Chain A
């Protein structure tokens, strides 16, 4: 019940295309769902986050779609750029805790 399942493991997208990464969770007590971006040699950095009371959140080229009934959420990167090439992690936690449960990560490569 603590797992967050992430797919795909790797993704190759052409510049200007849309990158889509999906995550699913089981624990209905989770109420905060962030996405982190990690470049080689760096720690993860928060990209965007959503709470279950909204179905979509957009920040620039990044959008989270959230489906509470299906217990799924996804990250869409519009107009993908080579600089977006990184590993992306979805995560989930309960509001009462700082303990993040991470997905397994998606390595994104955006080709010029």
Chain B
């Protein structure tokens, strides 16, 4: 079974631009969640989707948004990029609440100049 696939793996943007990151979950997994990882703040929850519905959202400004498609693939978007948005963005998928296990992708490393 293929793991969680995130694209692109690396990208460089400038302040004020926007970015879209993509995540393909493990086949059969219907839940996708996103996390931001930075040296200063660690791993922070962004949002969670299940069957195309956002079920939970972390404490991030409205510039951060996401969506999930009918095939469970997910995208997240960050608009009006700021220097502080430089981070590793991780996507995780899961197949059932009762197992609790989240499978993470290798992340998309965003650098904002």
| Interface residues of A, Cβ cutoff 8 Å to B | 32, 34, 36, 41-46, 49, 89, 93, 95-105
Contacts and interface: CB of A to CB of B under 8 A. Distances in A.
Given A98-B33, A99-B33, A100-B33, 5 more contacts: A41-B106, A46-B102, A98-B94, A100-B43, A101-B45
B97 A98 contact: yes
A13 to B, nearest CB: 22
Given A95-B97, A96-B97, A97-B56, A102 B102 contact: no
B105 A95 contact: no
B102 A98 contact: yes
Interface residues of B, number: 26
Which secondary structure dominates chain A's binding surface? loop
B33 A43 contact: no
A43 B101 contact: no
Nearest to A42: B106
B50, B55, B102, B107 pick with most chain A CB within 10 angstroms: B102
Nearest to B103: A46
B101 A99 contact: no
Nearest to A6: B42
Given A42-B106, A43-B4, A99 B100 contact: no
Contacts of A98: 31, 33, 48, 50, 55-56, 92, 94, 97, 102
